Amino acid sequence: MSHQIYGDSEQIFGYSGLRVKLYYSASRLTTYLAHTFVEKVDPEKFEGVEPDEVIKPIAERIPPGYLTNLSDFSAALQKDASFKPFGEMKRRFKIQLEEGEEKTYEVYLCDISATGFLDYHERIQTFLLWYIDAASYIDVDDDKWRFFVTYEKYLVNGNPQYAFAGYTTVYEYYAYPANIRPRISQMLILPPFQRLGLGREMLDTIYTHYKDNAKVLDITVEDPSDNFARLRDLVDSKNCLKLDSFQSKKLLKGFSEAMVEEAKKKLKLNKRQVRRVYEILRLRVTDRSDKEAYRWYRLDIKNRLNVQYKKEDRDMEKLKKVLRPEEFAATMTVTSKDQRLESLERQYAELEEHYLHVLERLAGSDLS
C-alpha cells in the first residue's frame, strides 16, 4: 500500500540500497522513522535531477514527535512496561495456536473523552496507510465515534504488558426520533495477528455491546470489503443459528418476516443482512445432491436477484409514457432476455461460491 505515500509507481527515485525504517513500539506505539542508503544520485552529475524525498512523504502523514535516533527509540521502549489500555474492557478471550501455545487478548471500548486517547489514536490510524487501500483518516473531534481496540496481553517477569493488535471504528448515527444506528467504519488487524480469529471476536464484541441497547435500531457497515463481508456473514450466520426462526425446518420453508423481526430484535441486524444470512443458512440445510431441492434453492435466490430487472422494466414503462418515441429510444438501457439470464447466472455463481466459503468456515468454528 506504499502507493498511498509514494504514488502509484511505489518507487523512490535516486537511491541504491535504500531502506526506509518505520518502527512502532508494541504498546504505546512510540514511532521511529529513518532511512539508510548505499548511494544517492548527485544532481551535478545528472543535469540537476534531484533524488525523491524519502522521509517527508511519511512524516507528513504521521503525528509529530516521532524519533529519528535509534538509541532514543530503544530507551523509549522501556516505557511500554507501564502502558495501560484506554477505556473499558469489554471482552477477554484466549486463542490456542497450532503449536500449542495459548495467547490472551482483550478488547477495550473507548471514546474521545479518554485522556490521552486522541494522541494514541493518531498513531493507530497511521497503520491504515500501509494496510487498507484508499484509507482515509476520520474526524476524531466528533464525539459520536467509538473505538474497539484489541490488545494481546502477555506477562514479562510476572507483570502484564500489552501489544496493540487491531481496532475497529464505529460511528453512532442519529436515528429519528431518539435512537441511534451504529455504523462500522473501519476494521484493521495487524499482519502478525491475522488469521487468529481476532476480527471475529472484535465484531462479536461490538454486537454484544449494542444488542441489548433499546435505542439501537440496527448495526450497519460502511462500504465493506470482500474480506469484511465474509467475516460479517460468518459472525451473523453463527449468531442466527441460535434463533428459533432460523432452525432447519423453518429455513426450508423460505424467507419470513419472523426471521427479520427476531434477528433485528435480538441481534440488531437490518433486513437486507437478514435475507443474506437466510440464503447462507438455507444453503447449509439444502441437499445439493437432491436436484429438486437444489433447484428450488437456486430459484429462490435468482428471484431475489431478478428484482433489479423488474424495477428496470417499471422505470422504462414510466419513461415511455412521458417521452416522445425518439427521446425514449435514446434512453433505452433495458438488457435483453439472454443478457439478463447470463447476468443472473453469473451473479448466482459468485454468491454461491461466497456462501460456500462462509459455510466452510462456519463448519470449522465453535457453534456453542
Q: Enumerate the H helices of the chain as residue ranges.
A: 3-6, 56-59, 70-76, 117-124, 128-131, 198-211, 226-240, 248-251, 257-267, 271-285, 291-305, 307-322, 325-331, 337-363
How large is the angle between the packed helices 226-240 and 271-285, nearest 10 degrees?
70
Instruction: Determine contact, residues 137/115, Cβ cutoff 8 Å.
Output: no
Active-site option among 10, 50, 53, 222: 222
Q: Name residues whose C-beta falls within 8 Å of residue 163's C-beta, 6 or more positions apart in sequence.
A: 26, 27, 151, 152, 154
Type of residue at 96:
Q
Grid coordinates in use for 18? 535504500
Active site residue 262: no
Grid coordinates in use for 58? 511519511
Of the candidates 217, 234, 304, which has an alpha carbon nearest to the alpha carbon of residue 268?
217
To which residue does cell 439501537 refer? 216
Give me the sign of the Cα torsion angle 322, 325, 329, 333. positive
What does the CA dihedral 175, 91, 80, 116 come to, rounded to 10 degrees? 20
Q: How far apart are alpha carbons 273 and 295 in whole angstroms? A: 23
Element housing 188 (H / E)? strand 179-189
Of the candidates 81, 73, 80, 84, which has an alpha carbon nearest to the alpha carbon of residue 23?
73
Instruction: Determine contact, residues 114/87, Cβ cutoff 8 Å.
Output: yes
* Alpha-carbon radius of gyration of the chain: 26
Between the alpha carbon of residue 155 and those of residues 86, 160, 243, the distances in Å are: 19, 5, 39
Q: Hey, which residues are catalytic here?
A: 222
